[in-house]
Each structure stands twice: as C-alpha cells, then as structure tokens.
Amino acid sequence: MASLEAGTSTSNTLGGEYQVFLSFRGLDTRYGFTNCLYHALVDAGIRVFIDDEELRPGERISGNLLRAIDDSKLYIPIFSKNYASSHWCLRELAKMVENSSKSKEDGKKVILPIFYDVKPDDVKLKTTLYREAISNLEQKMEDENKKFNSKDVETWRQALEEVDGTKGWELEKYLG
C-alpha cells in the first residue's frame, strides 16, 4: 500500500478542485481508518484533500487548507475521541459548516460525518466527552496568548450542533 504521503495535499493540487475534504484528528485515525478511506477514495478516482502534516502549537491553518475546504464538494469530518480537543479540527469543521450552509439551496457542498469510536450524542455535546474537550480549550484560550477567542469557541459549538442535523455513519473502533 502506498504511504499516506503519496497523495498529500501537494500532489493533488493539479487537476482542479478537490471533490472531497477529509477532516480528522491524526492522533486518533491518521494511520488506520483515515488512511484506508483516503486510499479507497483515491483508488476510485476521487480527488481527495488530506492534510499530510499535523499542525504544531502556534501554527496557523494554511491558505492551502482553507482553499481546499472552499474547493471541495463533499466534506467528511471523521469525529473521534480527540477531534474536539483540537482547535484546528474545530476551525476546519466551522468552515465546512459555513460553506455547506451557504450552498443549502443548490446542495453543492455537503457534509457527511463519520462517528469513529464516538456516538452522535458525543458530538451533539450531550455527553461529557466533547463538552469537556471544549471546556479544556476555553481554559487554554486564557493560557495560550489568545490563538482563539470566545467567539471562536461559540462558533465551534454551533458547528458541532449543526452537524448533528446530518445523518452520518457510526463506526466502532476495530480492536482485532
């Protein structure tokens, strides 16, 4: 199997817009489920954006990443245990929700969530998993020189609730 880097964001930029944007927490799914999904889509001839590097503390979401979100037609956020602990993942999600909301009438941008080893209720903030992750980010907001603010956090909460209205797939983590 080809390495994840073989089809990274750089190599897929030729040939126009992306068809699919994968949003995921690398810590949880990069070398397992997300890698398999990415390769299955690429093997089917679908142009997929996958961020090939984890953002490090202090880094900003690149213009390429934002353009890839804008260009894509289908967004696949892969919600996992640590997804909501990443303000980068939540920023991506907020951008996806914003874009899909703008295109509701023509349906040109669609979100198809995957719940990987989490339940939709976790994402809906009905359990402690994502609620605590958001609370921890709010605490960090005060400690990390304002990389994001309370308005950002509220936007992320709204994005999580918005995705709640979209039917997705629930997948249990394979432990075999």
Catalytic residues: 92
What is the distance between the alpha carbons of residues 74 and 28, in angstroms, rounded to a whole number? 22
List, in sequence order, every residue forming a beta bridge with 79; answer none if it has no partner.
115
Chain centroid, CA 66 distance in Å: 12
Distance from first CA to last CA of the chain, Å, rounded?
20
Report the candidate in 86, 72, 95, 75 with the shortest Cα–Cα distance to residue 155. Answer: 95
Q: How far apart are CA 95 and CA 10, in angstroms?
A: 21
Q: Please, what's the largest Cα pairwise distance for the chain?
A: 45
